[in-house]
Chain A
């Protein structure tokens, strides 16, 4: 009896060892390219395509210094600052407008609510490429091209329905009795939003903010369409330009700058992981 029991335990353990081995191997495959990119960025140029190892024969930081200079006229410092100027207001405006709209949908029973909510959900599936040309013409007529207004202003008007939906789901989970008792205590609907809903929605707001930050940071298609002047380039455009202008041998400079542009999203991810998971778990959705 005992022997059989022991055998079973051993079998389970062996089985688990294989699972862990597989998971670890997969983890290596997933992350190795990123580590290799980083390692290559500090390798001497001629070594990049010779070895697949992570330890450089000689550490070269030259690639970062030279790469940072960008076009010469505009350094990566400019491109970083531009990206922040585009991303930070867009994220802030998205959060403000989304929470207002989500509060409206989650807590009030106004005419046409069902139709409007369905419309809002259906824009989740509206392909960006269908509306990009008229949007471009609209922004041209408004004189917004080559500025960050095509990104920030639509965000102010709740055009990121994904986050509205996410926050609606979250707010619906907050007990209505809290609102009602606050109302009886003399709070108007805006007080209720500020004093009750907002503090309780912090986790959802955080995760919405993080997702939006990362998505806007990585956005390439929209900036490619709306931004023309190099002085206003964001990191995506700058990187793309660097491939074109850098002499084909200076690979490590491009790699170095790729690494640099990846740092903010990765940092945000690691510092805010808790909210990532919470946000996904509460809403159950992510694109």
Chain B
């Protein structure tokens, strides 16, 4: 008798699996209303001439044609953004990796250093940090005062079109702590036996790094690379607050252009077309990283779900 009720319970346990749909129901609604719907609508908008004050009017490919044939600012912004991404993302990740490797050398006070390095990441893309950057790199700001101590001529960090983009990128690299913490967590998970095996096999430090550490860390590097890239392509706050896209639009990042077109000039159809181009670029870059990943990432298990 007892075993029968137990068996009944087991079958109802199996049957009750569908209740999972009820638990994920909030997400299904949220996904449809706040993500999928806007996603599709923005594609539709991109083929329309449309603003808040005007009803959408279908114009076919006109927005896209204008973008590619008439809009010089579009090309300029695209180029600026690519340079920004190419400096900021590898800069941040390489720095994060190097520091994580050093902190992983069985040193004391790791927690202290980790906390210190992580601090800037907490304040991340806030307006307060952008304001700090304005003061640090002002003509007579802290950085130039420091340079003058070494009798180096002051550099116009934010006022010179050749330098401003690097100054903005540096703000991103300054936040390397978030990636570093991830790399550290990944390094901790590498089993000690592997290092011992490498030692037994007579591998030197450099060999061990390239044959043990780096391969086992690649999934985390991979994930970080994609997420940082997606973020960097959309960077907005630093360009908006620190430099307002200037001087001479040298920091006119894509995010800033999108905001201006959509919410300042109210050309929402045009901005939607721009946002779709950004989307396609991000997807293409992600696909590139994914495609190349079998050559450089290593997964212990297949991560089956």
Contact = CB atoms under 8 A, between A and B. Distances in A.
B158 interface: no
Interface of A: 16, 19-20, 22-23, 26-27, 30-31, 33-34, 36-37, 40, 48-52, 97, 100-101, 103-105, 107-111, 113-114, 116-117, 119-120, 123-138, 140, 154, 156-159, 161, 164, 180, 183-184, 189, 214-215, 217-218, 220-221, 224-225, 235-236, 239-240, 243, 251, 254-255, 258-259, 261-262, 265-266, 269, 273, 276-277, 280-281, 284-287
| Contact-residue bracket for chain B | 35 or more
16 contacts: A19-B105, A27-B113, A30-B119, A33-B132, A37-B132, A49-B140, A104-B23, A107-B20, A117-B305, A120-B31, A125-B282, A157-B27, A240-B241, A259-B128, A286-B178, A287-B228
Contacts of B262: 132-133, 136
Given A33-B136, A110-B21, A225-B263, A156 B26 contact: yes
Contact of A97 (B18, B27, B275): B27
Given A108-B19, A157-B26, A220-B125, A285 B38 contact: no
Contact of A281 (B19, B149, B188, B255): B188
Given A277-B181, A286-B182, 8 more contacts: A36-B136, A126-B35, A130-B38, A134-B272, A136-B263, A235-B127, A258-B132, A262-B126
Interface string B85-120: 000000000000001001101010000011111111
Nearest to A154: B34
Nearest to B228: A287
A133 B99 contact: no
B52 A140 contact: yes
A154 B18 contact: no
Nearest to B286: A125
A273 B140 contact: no
Taking chain B's interface residues, is the majority helix, strand, or loop, or is none over half, making it mixed?
Answer: helix
Interface stretch (B9-17, B60-68, B70-78, B204-212): B9-17
A276 B220 CA distance: 18
Contacts of B279: 127, 130
Contact of B37 (A132, A134, A180, A221): A134
A269 B117 CA distance: 13
A135 B27 contact: no
B223 A113 contact: no
Given A157-B29, A220-B237, A109 B255 contact: no
B227 A287 contact: yes
Interface of B: 6, 9, 13, 16-24, 26-31, 33-35, 37-39, 41-42, 45, 52, 99, 102-103, 105, 107, 113-120, 122-129, 131-132, 135-136, 138, 140-142, 145-146, 149, 174, 177-178, 181-182, 185-186, 188-189, 220, 223, 226-228, 230-231, 233-234, 236-237, 240-241, 255, 258-259, 262-263, 268, 271-272, 275-276, 278-279, 282-283, 286, 305
Question: Which of B125, B128, B241 counts the most chain A CB atoms within 10 A?
Answer: B128
Given A111-B18, A133-B272, A154-B34, A261 B24 contact: no
Contact of B115 (A157, A183, A273): A273
Contacts of B140: 49
Contact of A101 (B6, B27, B305): B27
Contacts of A49: 138, 140-141, 145
Contacts of A27: 113, 116-117
Contacts of A277: 114, 181
Given A97-B30, A159-B34, A183-B13, A31 B119 contact: yes
